[in-house]
Amino acid sequence: MAESKALSTGAEQLITEHLDIWTTAIEQKSSSGRGSSKKLSLYGIKKLRELILELAVRGKLVPQDPNDEPASVLLERIAAEKAQLIKDKKIKKPKALPEISDEEKSFDIPSGWERERIGTFGIVGTGSTPSRSNPAYWEPAEINWVSSGETSGFFVGSTKEKVSQLAIRETNVSVYPIGTLIVAMYGQGKTRGQITELSEPAGTNQACAAIRLVDTSPPHKNFIKLFFRKAYLELRKHAAGGAQPNLNVGKISNTVIPIPPLEEQSRIVVKVDELMGLCDALEAQTENSITAHQTLVEVLLEALLKAPEQTVTPEQTAEKFQQNWQRLSEHFDTLFTTTASIDMLKQTILQLAVMGKLVPQNPNDEPAAKLLERIAAEKAQLIKDKLYQKSSKLKPKDDSITYPKGWVCVQTGEVCPSIVPNRDRPKSFTGNIPWVTLPAFPNMSLYLDCSKVELNLSESEVKQYSARLIPEGSVLMSCVGRFGLTAINLEAVTSNQQVHAFIVLKGLLPEYLSLVIKVESKALESVATSTTIAYLNKTNCESIQFGLPPSAEQHRIVAKVVELMTLCDQLKARLTDAQTTKLHLTDAIVEQAL
């Protein structure tokens, strides 16, 4: 008794004493689809829930009481009742279940507990789907009919679909009584292995197994439900079926379950409900904290981007910005504590860069208007020499956007010749001139790593397949699917039609143009033409509007962006290391408890 009390008390202390670990161990997962994003998973609380269930079924969550009736007596009573039901022909005699092997005894159980197979406690059956081609099986809708998708709750009553009395008489659909446990054998996502209880009589489809217990007392029934909550992932793991692994009636019937005394079952269920309520509260508190933190970061970053009032002088605007920036930079380590907040900071840095707010202007810099004259002259000569095509007819500029003094409003087509690659894929790749596609674009760096480009053309293949050679120092931009992706090539390359290439002329830094394109990703997405996949035509690519700073200021902007991005990456690396440590700590705590 003393030992079991120590076990359960120690287990509960393990839960409550490590709340900081449970609530701060957060995992970031990718979500698939267009413009794939990240979502947070409260890994610590998830592991805590799993630990609570694991401790429960191992007899380590509540103390044992030697005065409890042993589980063996409960099993004898169930066996006698089941034999009587068979004798009275109320149920069919089931097939004999195999002996429990040593391999199935994966952990020790307390004194007074027993191990048995689920099939020992009743009959495991299933259902079917009446023919959809016979309307009389579905109308009138009279009898509840459970599908695997309706097994996620603790109880299921009125169902989405119902079948008629005729369907019950003429098909294999059986009507199960209130209190029957329904297990999803297969279905989409995480459905398989979920368990619910009928609060109204119902039939099931063939994707569900029905467990009709001999002992329908709430403690016994609720403990079996609790066991399935713990075991369903393991059941799915052992189920057959490849990409869509399924359970079956035999596997469920043969599942070995530890059985405590009936009185202890009741105490376990109560304690699990109590601790799961704690988990719910911790989860809500953590999610609210994350939301509040994210809102705070958004407000502070928005203050940096906010347009100045018309009555404010440029000097006052610069001073206000420096105050906001100083306030933010003093608290980097406490504000930017999630990957999402660091990503927001990165995007804000890029926006500030192209707004002219990231570095001070120098009145001694040559105005960008003179730089534009030189670039325009060089571009015109290149077109006259037929090295590049004329730009498309550009879309109208947005005159409501203002830029700092000394800057000039331009569009990419004004300052850069373009190369639109051939749509046809070459038939052979035998040379060393990289043929660049979007998967080769860098995730972190601004520069293309041609060692990661898998296909290369020879000079003769470039001519044979009319591939366009893109000179080094150009800015390659995604024009299909995802927008805002850029890469600066450090050697001559060719590409496919998913890439639009800007030839960067003297005085415009390719790194600065890359920053512009990254900032404009959402704007590009809004103007993209979409059929089966969104794409940007040549006009849209060449109509990207931005502020052109003096050449010297471009260098200062790029240098500051690189500096701050490095800081962000360091913050993210420290965050990743800390989160990895916390994830390992949760796993270690679980192992210690078990």
- Checking if the pLDDT of 69 tops 60, the result is yes
Instruction: Please give the structure tokens belonging to residue 440.
Output: 């080769």
Pick from 102-116, 180-194, 215-229, 476-490: least confident:
180-194
Half-sphere exposure of residue 353: CA atoms within 13 angstroms, side-chain side: 28
Q: H or E stretch including 122?
A: strand 122-126
Give the tokens for residue 104.
């199935």
Name 403's Cβ contacts closer than 8 Å, sequence gap at least 6: 356, 409, 547
Do residues 475 and 514 lie in contact, with contact meaning Cβ atoms separated by under 8 Å? yes
Confidence of residue 312 (pLDDT cuts 50, 70, 90): low
pLDDT at 48 over 90: no
For residue 232, name the pLDDT band (cuts at 50, 70, 90).
low
Q: What angle do CA 379, 382, 383 make, to 5 degrees?
A: 90
Query: Please, which pLDDT band fits residue 160 given cuts at 50, 70 and 90?
Result: very high
Tell which phi-psi region holds residue 543, choosing left (phi > 0), alpha (psi between -120 and 50) or beta. Answer: alpha
Task: Report which DSSP code applies to 185.
Answer: -
Structure-token match 């689920």, residue found: 118
Cα 85 from Cα 97, distance rounded (Å): 18
| Per-residue confidence (pLDDT) for residue 177, from 0 to 100 | 92
* Percentage of the chain exceeding pLDDT 90: 39
Name the band, by pLDDT with cuts 50, 70 and 90, for residue 234: low
**561 contacts 518 by C-beta, under 8 angstroms:** no
Mean pLDDT confidence for 235-257? 69
pLDDT tens, residue by residue, 541-569: 999 999 999 999 999 999 999 998 988 88
Q: Is 310 exposed, middle or buried (0-12, 13-18, 19+ CB in 10 A)?
A: exposed
Does 37 score more than 50 pLDDT? Answer: no
Task: Estimate the crossing angle of helix 43-57 against helix 551-593, to 10 degrees.
Answer: 10
Q: 42: which 2 tokens?
A: 């409260």
Burial class (CB in 10 A: 0-12, 13-18, 19+), 291: exposed
**pLDDT of the residue at 76:** 93
Neighbouring C-beta atoms of residue 573, cutoff 10 Å: 10
Q: Is the pLDDT of residue 313 over 70?
A: no
pTM for the whole thing?
0.68
Residue-by-residue DSSP string for 371-399: HHHHHHHHHHHHHHTTSSPPPPPPPPP-T
Kindly tell me if the per-residue pLDDT of 155 is higher than 80.
yes
Amino acid at 147: S
How far is it, in rounded angstroms, from Cα 109 to Cα 492? 69
In the chain, the N- to C-terminal Cα span, in Å, equals 19
**Is pLDDT at 343 greater than 90 in this prediction?**
no
- Please tell me the distance from the alpha carbon of residue 378 to that of residue 414, in angstroms, as a whole number: 11
The tokens describing 91, both together, are 């149920």
- CA nearest 232: which of 65, 49, 368? 49
**Cα–Cα distance measured from residue 23 to residue 283, given in angstroms and rounded to the nearest whole number:** 7
State phi, psi for 179 to the nearest 5 degrees.
95, -10
Encoding tokens for residue 267?
């105490």
Length of the chain: 594
Rounded distance, CA 228 to CA 252, Å? 10
Residue of 512, 445, 524, 520 lying closest to 480 (CA atoms): 524
pLDDT at 230 over 60: yes
User: Dihedral sign, CA of 559, 563, 566, 572?
Assistant: negative
Name the H helices within 136-255.
Answer: 165-170, 218-238, 249-254
3-state SS assignment for residue 90: coil
> Bridge-partner residues for 410, per DSSP?
546
Cα–Cα distance between 211 and 126 in angstroms, integer?
9
Name the token pair of 372: 């534009």
Query: Which of 496, 537, 536, 545 is CA-nearest to residue 392?
Result: 537
Element (H, E) at 145: strand 143-146
Task: Copy the structure tokens of residue 485.
Answer: 């992706």
Strands, DSSP E only, in 256-326? 256-259
Q: CA-CA distance, 474 to 500, in Å (whole number)?
A: 10
Give the helix/strand (H/E) hosting 424. Answer: none
- 144: nearest Cα among 202, 204, 209, 210: 202
Locate 126 and state its tokens: 């299933």
Q: Show the tokens assigned to 556.
A: 């200062």
Q: How many CA atoms lie within 13 A of 307 on its CB side?
A: 8
Q: Which of 241-245, 336-340, 492-496 has the highest mean pLDDT?
A: 492-496
**Residue 148 confidence (pLDDT):** 87
Residue 430, phi then psi, degrees to nearest 5 = -125, 5
Instruction: Return the closest-CA partner of residue 272 out of 33, 12, 486.
Output: 12
Residue 508's contacts (CB-CB under 8 Å, 6 or more residues apart) are 371, 375, 415, 416, 548, 551, 554
Q: For 83-94, how does the pLDDT look when each residue is reduced to its tens digit (9 = 90+)?
A: 998 898 888 888
Q: Which strands, in side-by-side order, build the sheet including 494-495?
A: 456-457, 433-436, 494-495
| Range 454-466 average pLDDT | 90
Looking at residue 190, its pLDDT comes to 67
Determine phi and psi for 200, rounding to 5 degrees.
-140, 150
56 contacts 226 by C-beta, under 8 angstroms: yes
- At residue 505 the predicted structure's pLDDT band, cuts being 50, 70 and 90, is very high
Q: What is the mean pLDDT of the chain?
A: 85
User: In this model, does residue 45 exceed pLDDT 80?
Assistant: yes
pLDDT the model gives residue 251: 87
Q: What is the pLDDT of residue 245?
A: 56
Q: What whole-number distance in Å separates Cα of residue 591 and Cα of residue 584? A: 11
Least confident of 285-299, 412-426, 537-551: 285-299
Half-sphere exposure of 537 (CA within 13 A, CB side): 9
Q: What is the arithmetic mean of pLDDT over 46-53?
A: 85
Round to whole Å and give the CA distance between 264 and 112.
10
